[in-house]
């Protein structure tokens, strides 16, 4: 989750382990991720990404260039598909932008959500 391994502490590992093994977490994860591989569900479900070009809501996408969980190349798929997207990339940053680059994360998000929209 983190690019900067110096941020990985015993406390962080313990917290992540508690969160990952809390009651119901494993069942919820199986339901969410398992649905992607459920062949019966695929017969009636249209993946959201297939409709991405029709989305009209302005979208902010933040991506850590060094994300080992969701590789950076994935950002470009959404960037090409969504008509109203703003992509911000953070170098030397993993999956947890909000932790590793807290100040920049907050600045970008606040600026985006408080921006005046053009009529």
Count other C-beta atoms under 10 Å from residue 72's C-beta: 12
Judge whether 19 and 96 are in contact, CB under 8 Å: no
Of 21, 39, 20, 93, residue with least CA distance to 62 = 93
Active-site residue among 5, 76, 88, 95?
95
Instruction: Let me know if 76 is a catalytic residue.
Output: no
What is the Cα–Cα distance from 101 to 107, expressed in whole angstroms? 10
Cα Rg of the chain, angstroms: 17
Query: Where in the sequence numbering do the catalytic residues fall?
Result: 95
């Amino acid at each position: 989750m983190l690019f900067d391994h110096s941020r990985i502490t015993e406390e962080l590992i313990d917290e992540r382990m508690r969160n990952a093994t809390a009651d119901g977490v494993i069942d919820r994860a199986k339901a969410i991720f398992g649905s992607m591989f459920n062949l019966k569900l695929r017969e009636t479900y249209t993946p959201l990404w297939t409709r991405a070009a029709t989305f009209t809501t302005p979208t902010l996408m933040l991506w850590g260039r060094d994300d080992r969980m969701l590789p950076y190349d994935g950002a470009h798929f959404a960037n090409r598909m969504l008509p109203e997207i703003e992509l911000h990339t953070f170098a030397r940053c993993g999956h947890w932008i909000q932790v590793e680059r807290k100040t920049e994360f907050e600045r970008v998000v606040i600026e985006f959500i408080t921006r005046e929209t053009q009529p």
